[in-house]
Structure 1
Amino acid sequence: MPNNSTITVFVLLGLTQDPQKQRLVFFIFLVFYGGTVLGNTLIMVTIKFSRTLGSPMYFFLFYLSLVDFSFSTSIAPRLVVDSLSAKKIISYNECMTQLFALHLFGCMEIFVLILMAADRYIAICKPLRYPTIMRRQVCVILIVFAWMGSFTHATSQIVLLLNLPFCGPNLIDHYCCDVQPLLKLACADTYLINLMTVSNSGAICSTSFLILMISYIVILHSLRNHSAEGRKKALSTCTSHIIAVIISFIPCIFMYTRPPTTYPADKMVTVFYTIGTPFLNPLIYTLRNAEVKNAMRKLWSIKY
């Protein structure tokens, strides 16, 4: 902690102060978290042990599920437990750790979605060079760089906050620790830090979303030269990816590309990309993907 801070713990106000609604929050988000763990674990196990899902697309999908699992685990368990707690107390160190995990896995999800889009672009637009470009070694190197970039981003967010003094009050009007709610409690001028946060997190979200949308427009445009069967298969895969990109990026852009103001909808928007997106991604990538569903059936039949 900074030497001039007097706050050692924070109190999370959560999604609601109503006892009846808190019990509802407990059951709803317990189900969401259970579904997230089950769905992403099932995808990771299927990809790991299936012989038919060895392409780079499923290599990146494995890491997307791993990130979704970790992302939700850094937020959801505390939200579930706090919904039944009288005092939602979180220590300074725990708060900073949660913030680091939030930005580490959130940024990693963005990078993995970019890698998946690049994989689809090369597979559809440059099919003859695809096996050469997307070799296993290349995929591993790309994932390592993605982790390094995510770690750098998360570290930069923590460094900005670790030097801020917190003198009171210690009430965080949120259900998790994030940059904007903490900046409101700092006993210092945070304008410059907020500007740096927007230029960092906001730039990553906005630029990545723009790159992804342009890449998928190019991919969809190139599908006109493919056969009807190939076009249908590629379109199904790209549609899944576009849906995942939209539900991941729109809330992120809303939260991190604006002045230091808070809105009543902030908590629900944060719920959508910290709890909802990790829950929905397994459904998007399995319900719309015949190869994954067939691999799950084969794996299930072998195991039982």
Structure 2
Amino acid sequence: MVLLSPQDLSSMGHRNHTSASEFLLLGLSSRPEQQELIFGVFLAMYMVGITGNLLIILAIGSASRLHTPMYFFLSQLSLVDFCFISTTVPKMFVNIQTQTQAISYGACLGQIYICILLANMDNFLLTAMAYDHYLAICHPLHYSSKMSLCSCTLMLGCLWAIASLHALLHTLLMAQLDFCVSNVIPYFFCDLIPLLQLSCSDTRLNQLMIVLVGGLIVLLPFLGILGSYTRIAAAVLRVPSARGKWKALSTCGSHLTVVILFYGTISGVYLRPSSSHSTDKDSLASVIYMVVTPTLNPFIYCLRNKDMQGALGKLFSPKALFHRL
């Protein structure tokens, strides 16, 4: 089957005046000669991403010294990133290998729900980790009581519940829309913004919920992170020794890097007026937060973290391998 060009797909979509039963994912390129290169690059990132995140989960689970709130949330972040990258990229691999661009209506809505759910959890877990850093540096005497295993588990359960309800809200609103003009999505996965642009229904409520509810879901955690690091910076400045300041900053450096990557890309896609959206820029940003960031996170958290490096070393030590055999 030959891949169709965007112009051909668009003309086909305009001739279809019935509600769409499936959508066509254009992917990153409609040129057949580029598909093999895209497949190879994304396969490499996918394998690195799932391997790195699985190793972090295994290392934290096997090392008793890492059974702390900070690493508890880090293992959850790795689990979310593992699921994140596995939600969209395998479908793209299937489409490239089978030379088809179709995804069913139900699968598209399911992909939207899972992507929003996992993006929310990334958002919430980054906030929880910032709060953990804040308590550890600014209120060390109260840290053990406020960040107990029970408290962390309860917090995690609440975060999953909020993330699920938010994802369900947008999915149900999307399910009420009709798609009768075109069914061509210029992305490699189903996402809210391109689907709203395809709908022939009134999408004002959907857009309002994205701005209001979605904005709050992103803005409030971001303000929490900003407030946490403002107090952390004030506390670090009061530390007399340069070594103490460096130790505190190095603890937060990896987390800050991930925060900048995540919020920079996701706000560029979802928190801009619809009139300012560009397909190429949005597609690039989506690749960064859907694939690149989950792939880079294991490296960001491990490169300068001696505890993680030690846990990974023990995980692959001859003694550990012998016990597993």
What's the TM-score once normalised by structure 2's chain length? 0.89
Query: What corresponds to 1:239 in structure 2?
Result: 253
Secondary structure in structure 2 of the residue aligned to 1:31:
helix
Q: 1:51 to 1:86 in 2, by over 3 A?
A: same
Structure-1 separation of matches of 2:104 and 2:94: 15
Query: What corresponds to 1:303 in structure 2?
Result: 320
What is the identity, as a one-letter code, of the residue corresponding to 2:214? S
Kindly provide the CA deviation profile for residues 229-288 of structure 1, in whole angstroms up to 9, marking residues without a partner as x.
433222112111110100011111111112223302110110000001100110110012
Kindly provide the CA deviation profile for residues 186-232 of structure 1, in whole angstroms up to 9, marking residues without a partner as x.
12121232122122223322332233123212212211233444332
Kindly provide the CA deviation profile for residues 22-75 of structure 1, in whole angstroms up to 9, marking residues without a partner as x.
211100000011001100000000001101101110010010000000111111
Structure-1 separation of matches of 2:20 and 2:236: 57
**Structure number, greater radius of gyration:** 2
Shift of 1:5: 6.2
1:168 aligns with 2:205: no
CA contact (8 A) 1:206 1:253 kept: no
1:150 aligns with 2:163: yes
Which stretch shows the higher mean deviation, 255-264 or 6-15? Answer: 255-264
Structure-2 separation of matches of 1:78 and 1:237: 37
Alignment of 1:25-40 (within 5 A): 25-40=38-53
Match of 2:284 among 262, 268, 273: 268
Shift of 1:87: 2.0
1:21 aligns with 2:47: no
Structure-2 separation of matches of 1:14 and 1:169: 16
What is the identity, as a one-letter code, of the residue corresponding to 1:237? T
Which stretch shows the higher mean deviation, 126-135 or 187-196? Answer: 187-196
Which stretch shows the higher mean deviation, 190-199 or 138-147? Answer: 190-199
CA contact (8 A) 1:14 1:83 kept: no
Structure 2 residue runs without a partner (length 5+): 1-16
Structure-2 separation of matches of 1:75 and 1:228: 45
Kindly report the root-mean-square deviation, in angstroms, between the aligned alpha carbons of the 2 structures. Answer: 1.5
Query: What corresponds to 1:211 in structure 2?
Result: 224
Alignment of 1:58-97 (within 5 A): 58-97=71-110
Query: What corresponds to 2:14 in structure 1?
Result: none
Query: What corresponds to 1:44 in structure 2?
Result: 57
Which stretch shows the higher mean deviation, 26-35 or 178-187? Answer: 178-187
Secondary structure in structure 1 of the residue aligned to 2:273:
coil
Structure 1 residue runs without a partner (length 5+): none
Match of 1:136 among 119, 126, 149: 149
The structure with more helix, counted as a fraction of residues = 2
CA contact (8 A) 1:22 1:84 kept: no
Query: What corresponds to 2:301 in structure 1?
Result: 285
CA contact (8 A) 1:33 1:279 kept: yes
Secondary structure in structure 2 of the residue aligned to 1:175:
coil
Secondary structure in structure 2 of the residue aligned to 1:265:
helix
What is the identity, as a one-letter code, of the residue corresponding to 2:272? R
Equivalences, count: 301
What is the identity, as a one-letter code, of the residue corresponding to 2:298? P
Which stretch shows the higher mean deviation, 278-287 or 4-13? Answer: 4-13
Structure-1 separation of matches of 2:167 and 2:18: 22
Shift of 1:299: 2.4
Q: 1:147 to 1:223 in 2, by over 3 A?
A: same
What is the identity, as a one-letter code, of the residue corresponding to 1:303? A
CA contact (8 A) 1:205 1:252 kept: no
Query: What corresponds to 2:5 in structure 1?
Result: none
1:178 aligns with 2:191: yes
Secondary structure in structure 1 of the residue aligned to 2:158:
helix
Query: What corresponds to 2:273 in structure 1?
Result: 259
What is the identity, as a one-letter code, of the residue corresponding to 1:106? A
Structure-1 separation of matches of 2:96 and 2:285: 18
Shift of 1:20: 1.9
Secondary structure in structure 1 of the residue aligned to 2:140:
coil
Match of 1:197 among 198, 205, 210: 210
